Structure 1
């Protein structure tokens, strides 16, 4: 998946589970508005599980760019994200 100018490699279990069960995927985001108050946004995703995960990753890419301070603690980053090659390939 294209992500932050590189590629993001994730396990495919979510796509496979959604495909085999026919259950639609949703995307949920939380935003801290005050120390004791969260805003929760739940968005529908495309029916195709692969397209759904791509949409989530695109949304995550935008969120990291908009709010980088919220992602400083994201673990295992070096195992999931890889920069593009000089030719622009992922």
Structure 2
């Protein structure tokens, strides 16, 4: 059974929890907006799962190479740097 939520309902819930929509991480806001702009949510979900798996693999590899460095505070920065490094290697 599918439950439909209007964008305004989600935004109100976020404001109720975080006091401001802007306090939610940018990646989360982009994801929420993308959900409401996609025609094919099944394909979007598949793409998200692929990205999540790539992120997991990247973080596991980083943790193996640099034990004890990864934490909740630097997770987004580590992923961003790893993606940039991977993209740089592809372009060479």
Do both share a fold (TM > 0.5)?
A: no
Structure with the bigger RCO (C-alpha within 8 Å, sep 6+) is 1
Higher helix share: 2
Higher strand share: 1
Larger Rg computed on CA atoms: 2
